[in-house]
Amino acid sequence: MAAPQKTRPDALTLEVVDLIGTVVARYHEEYDDAAAEHALTGAQARLLSLLSLEPLPMRRLAQKLKCEPSNVTGIVDRLESRGLVERRPDPGDRRVKLAAVTDEGRRVARGLRDSLHFAREPLAELSRDERLALRDLLLRMLGTAS
């Protein structure tokens, strides 16, 4: 059986891919700048943001951050030493430790979120219908459209 013929993407597809890359790069740049304003690394800020939503086991944090659990342990250690997160036993399985945000960590996470203007400001210029269409297209691209 012959391998399927690969065709070069058309110019429009290449332009869209380049624009998506530019958006992602600008978002990460602003996120890292916002993190630095709070004396955090980008990884620390992302972990703190995740924990501001709900306490999570270390292994699940590693999956969400796409890194090794040992890296998450170091990040949590540093955030814990600053009083931004704490470790707690999981009420469903006391052998598992959950990382949870403290009140101070929640305040810092809120400040981080509030200082991210790049994504919010351009989206505010789109109508509700345009934002819904963009969301639906992104979900479709990710294969999670309903």
What does the pLDDT profile of the chain (146 residues) look like in tens digits? Answer: 566 667 888 999 999 999 999 888 888 888 899 999 999 999 999 999 999 999 999 999 999 999 898 899 999 999 999 999 999 999 888 888 899 999 999 999 999 988 887 767 778 888 999 999 999 999 999 888 66
CB atoms within 10 A of CB 131: 13
| Alpha carbon 117 to its chain's center | 15
Note the pTM of the prediction, 2 decimals. Answer: 0.74
Pair 62, 78: CB distance under 8 Å: no
Pair 61, 44: CB distance under 8 Å: no
| d(C-alpha 142, C-alpha 136), whole Å | 10
Give CA separation, 136 vs 118, 132, 139, 144, in Å.
Answer: 20, 6, 5, 9
| d(C-alpha 125, C-alpha 110), whole Å | 23
pLDDT at 27: 85
